[in-house]
Each structure stands twice: as structure tokens, then as C-alpha cells.
């Protein structure tokens, strides 16, 4: 398991940072956590590339465990509006993370033999989309109020123009849309470090082969 330690530490740091930064707003539709959380898909894909899907799933489970601890701690900290982490938010976060990351692992593994960019881009885009859909609907949709009846999510269901200028929709749909767009952009940008990592691996493999052939 020591070979997975860098991936576990990176995943844990991203999950911890995202849970902290989600408390701070970035404009009307986003939190700072929206810019750190998508990096989890990059970590998962790199581990999958180097060590395979089984190792990637272990890293995902480690990140899930960190997320559970963060939710537990947050539920014990009471702010002006109640606990920092409500039951619905904790449930949404855990379900979305686990399902989306495991789907990312599966898709990446199935596409890994194609063009170098196809597996990380497709798996991250699909995983990010599912993550956004699951989190915001479970956490804020009025249709799922039965999950935590005591948690008032009326504010998230206020009908407003989408992202301030589009058709009318519940506020949580605007929040989800903004979050999703950031994830899509970061999934594309993550191809740069992924490609550099692939080139580094190739260079090390060639150097190792040359040494072996001497």
C-alpha cells in the first residue's frame, strides 16, 4: 500500500481543502471549493494510469473516508443557520463523490487503450456531470425534502433566472450549472498536467529500457 501513499495523500488533501473552501463564496453562484474538488478526478486518473483500476478505487475509498470525517466534524460545528454540514449535504456529498469517482475509474480503464486524451477527458466529463447532478439534487431539490424534513431548503428552490439571465429555474439549478461549467473547464485544463505526466512516464520507460539493454 505504500506505493499508493502519494495518491492517497493528494486525494485526502483535495477533499479536505474542498470541504473547507466550500464555506467561502466566489461570486453569486460558486464557492472556492468548486475550483479544488475537480482535481480529484485528475488524481484518480493518474493512479489508474500507473497502477490500474483496483489501486484507483482504493484511493477513491480513502478520499471518501476523509470526506466522511469532514462531514462528521462539520455537523458538530454550529453556525448562525445551524450545523455547517446538514445531513442532506453530507449524504449528497458522499454519494456523489463515491458514485462519480468509481464511474470515472471504470470509464478510464475501458478507454485507456485509445488516444491519450480520450480516457481522462471522457471519464472526467461523465464523472463530473454525474457528480454535479447527484450532489445538488440530493442536497437541495424540493422533491427530496423527505430526506431531512427539518432542513429548510426553500432558499435553494426560489425561482430565479438561470445564472441571472436565462429561463426561470430553482436557485439550486443555477448553482449546479455554474459548478458543472467549472468542472468541464478544469477537466479540459487537466489534460495538460496529464499529458506531461504521460510523457514523463514514457521517458522513464525508455531510459529504463536502454539501461537494461546495456
Q: What is the pLDDT of residues 118-156, one digit of tens each?
A: 999 999 999 999 999 999 999 999 999 999 998 999 999
**Distance in angstroms (rounded) separating the CA atoms of residues 170 and 145:** 14
What integer is the mean pLDDT of 201-206? Answer: 73
Are 119 and 108 contacting, i.e. CB atoms less than 8 angstroms apart? yes
Bridge partners for 169 per DSSP: 160
User: Which one is predicted more confidently, 81 or 37?
Assistant: 37
**What pLDDT shows up at residue 76?**
83
Architecture of domain 2-189 in CATH?
Answer: Orthogonal Bundle (1.10)
pLDDT-based confidence at residue 214 (cuts at 50, 70, 90): very low
Give Cα 195 distance to the centre of its chain: 20
Domain layout of the chain by residue ranges: 2-189
pLDDT-based confidence at residue 3 (cuts at 50, 70, 90): confident
In this predicted structure, the answer to whether residue 81 has a pLDDT above a threshold of 70 is no
Are 64 and 8 contacting, i.e. CB atoms less than 8 angstroms apart? no
Bridge partners for 78 per DSSP: 83
**What pLDDT shows up at residue 144?**
95
- Tell me how crowded residue 6 is: count the other CB atoms within 10 A of its CB: 13
Amino acid at each position: 500500500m505504500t506505493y499508493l501513499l502519494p495518491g492517497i495523500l493528494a486525494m485526502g488533501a483535495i477533499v479536505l481543502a474542498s470541504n473547507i473552501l466550500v464555506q467561502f463564496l466566489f461570486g453569486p453562484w460558486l464557492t472556492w471549493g468548486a475550483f479544488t474538488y475537480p482535481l480529484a478526478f485528475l488524481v484518480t486518473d493518474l493512479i489508474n494510469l500507473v497502477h490500474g483500476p483496483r489501486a484507483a478505487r482504493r484511493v477513491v475509498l480513502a478520499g471518501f473516508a476523509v470526506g466522511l470525517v469532514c462531514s462528521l466534524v462539520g455537523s458538530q460545528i454550529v453556525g448562525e443557520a445551524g450545523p455547517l454540514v446538514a445531513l442532506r449535504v453530507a449524504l449528497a456529498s458522499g454519494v456523489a463523490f463515491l458514485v462519480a469517482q468509481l464511474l470515472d475509474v471504470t470509464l478510464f480503464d475501458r478507454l485507456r487503450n485509445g488516444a491519450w486524451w480520450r480516457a481522462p477527458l471522457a471519464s472526467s466529463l461523465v464523472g463530473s456531470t454525474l457528480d454535479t447532478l447527484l450532489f445538488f439534487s440530493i442536497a437541495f431539490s424540493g422533491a427530496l425534502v423527505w430526506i431531512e424534513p427539518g432542513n429548510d431548503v426553500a432558499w435553494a428552490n426560489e425561482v430565479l433566472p438561470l445564472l441571472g439571465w436565462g429561463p426561470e429555474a430553482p436557485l439550486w439549478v443555477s448553482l449546479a450549472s455554474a459548478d458543472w461549467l467549472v468542472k468541464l473547464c478544469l477537466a479540459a485544463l487537466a489534460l495538460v498536467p496529464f499529458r506531461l505526466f504521460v510523457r514523463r512516464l514514457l521517458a522513464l520507460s525508455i531510459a529504463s529500457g536502454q539501461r537494461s539493454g546495456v
